[in-house]
Structure 1
């Protein structure tokens, strides 16, 4: 728990040390970048104001720092930083300032609140996120895939009999995939690369290993859907593929290496969307929905970055517009 010392000087280097001790939970590599970016700002602030006391950090200082980042050039007169790098630095500062303001508010207001990212960066299509109502419809259809799409449709042959499941259908796998997408915000490429040994059923965490290891938290219904798939379907396909990959192709598939493709994930998603009466939404729409959900619950872009694994925090900060819209709705409703 954060405690103020008796000789508290309220300087930003103290706040930075405690920020990394109590708040930041990103990877070591990301933390190095965060510390480097915040330290760069503190050096600038000291050079401009002669102090790094918290209440000397004003909107004017923030705007001056942003201009300073854009104005620096190399020996050939070219910008030292591209817009993406500048946005990363500003995003790290916005998250740092927001944390300070939550614990010990600035005299006027958060000095990074009105600082905007550049218009030339990559913008996320947040508006295409699935809504909470659409999520419920998707999961409802996913829960009923066995009866909706997996049973034989031969009315004559099974007129008075219980219809069998089609041999190539994998309703429990498809259900688990839909749950994994909506309940983690995971990318398609990560879904197909999950290995069964990297699923921690006790802590409800899924680890994806690439150049770096990413950790996704999954909800209780999500992890239960994965358990159902493993218990009821995966074994018959494992006999053929002998693969450690969690989501396996059907054993009826003649070719392949025991791994699904992004195209298969798209087909599963589109099939469920069609049954749910939802159009225009992609698997990535569930990723945006997770970002929006976390922002509404925490108001913290760092929490989004942690769950979704954004390398550039500027992407996570874009979800802040959800809170801005919420504030507008509240004020207009007065």
Structure 2
């Protein structure tokens, strides 16, 4: 079994996050268990595509979505590519595999009105109130991911230069400007934070009331709570604020490359998923300014 070496490769060479590494490990372990139980095969490097296809069938039968199955197969593909690269196999059993079809999910961003209503209704008093406001404002003003916000440290903030350093996926750093409004909220929050002896020595910027580092569920619930008051959208998450950040910038005429850098994407292809929400705005521009449209 070559899993330990593969995990080291993901952690130290690819520099994937712990969450991502754990997901890969679980997917491969699940497949390993399946082939042991079904085919009495203890070495997954010796598996063939027929075995993998049987696993896919079992996942479909169990009601696992095509999207989730594709993610699991993607983990296997990466594993077999690693085995190829390290010359432990000669051909990947997934060489000719085609992903299962999935329906495209259109994630609706919050409207500018919804965001403005949330911003206008903060009860920003005391440590927790100012912290909540700063979390929402940081999400919308920087487009950062939930994990990036949770891991923000005090030394990532440079108020004099009006900049914030964000540590993104694969430990890739990017610098994002800080708006004056954010600096004001941050200053008020830090003043309250410094009054609490329990959390003075914590290196992380945003903390719970008990002085602990934030965690995923805490941040998700906070965002959902605030936006449920102004929005009827089914999904109200930190990622939707990130989605809104990108969409609103593009709607206002921001350059796609600039939005890419702000989001911390490695390629334009990742950023382009946000452009479909800007088609309505682009259509207005087209209708108003294209010369041929003015001909009656």
CA distance 1:282–1:291, change in 2 (3 Å): same
Whether 1:312 aligns to 2:292 is no
SS at match of 1:310: coil
Shift of 1:186: 1.1
* Structure 2: tracts of 5 or more residues without a match: 1-89
Aligned to 1:218: 178
1:265-304 matches, within 5 Å, as: 265-276=219-230, 278-280=232-234, 281-304=236-259
CA distance 1:217–1:122, change in 2 (3 Å): farther
Looking at structure 2, the residues matched to 264 and 77 of structure 1 have their Cα atoms a distance apart, in angstroms, of: 41
1:143-189 CA distance string (max 9 Å, x none): x243xxxxxxxxxxxxxxxxxx7xxx711111111111111111111
1:40-51 matches, within 5 Å, as: none
After TM superposition, where is structure 1 displaced by more than 4 Å over at least 4 residues in a row? Answer: 75-83, 119-125, 330-334
Shift of 1:244: 1.1
1:148-163 matches, within 5 Å, as: none
Aligned to 1:188: 146
Aligned to 1:134: 114
Structure 1-normalised TM-score? 0.50
Structure 2-normalised TM-score? 0.56
Larger radius of gyration: 1
The structure carrying a bigger helix percent of its residues is 2
SS at match of 1:318: helix
Q: Whose RCO is larger (CA < 8 A, sep 6+)?
A: 1
What count of residue pairs does the alignment treat as equivalent? 197
Looking at structure 2, the residues matched to 259 and 76 of structure 1 have their Cα atoms a distance apart, in angstroms, of: 45
Shift of 1:120: 7.5
SS at match of 1:319: helix
Aligned to 2:216: 262
Aligned to 1:176: 134
Looking at structure 1, the residues matched to 229 and 279 of structure 2 have their Cα atoms a distance apart, in angstroms, of: 34
1:171-222 CA distance string (max 9 Å, x none): 1111111111111111111111111111111232211235221222232212
* Structure 1: tracts of 5 or more residues without a match: 1-74, 84-118, 147-164
8 A contact 2:247–2:278 mirrored in 1: no
- C-alpha RMSD of the superposition: 3.5
Q: 1:198 aligns with which of 150, 156, 161?
A: 156
1:66-115 CA distance string (max 9 Å, x none): xxxxxxxxx989999999xxxxxxxxxxxxxxxxxxxxxxxxxxxxxxxx
Looking at structure 2, the residues matched to 139 and 270 of structure 1 have their Cα atoms a distance apart, in angstroms, of: 14
8 A contact 1:301–1:319 mirrored in 2: no
Aligned to 1:328: 283
SS at match of 2:121: helix
8 A contact 1:237–1:249 mirrored in 2: no
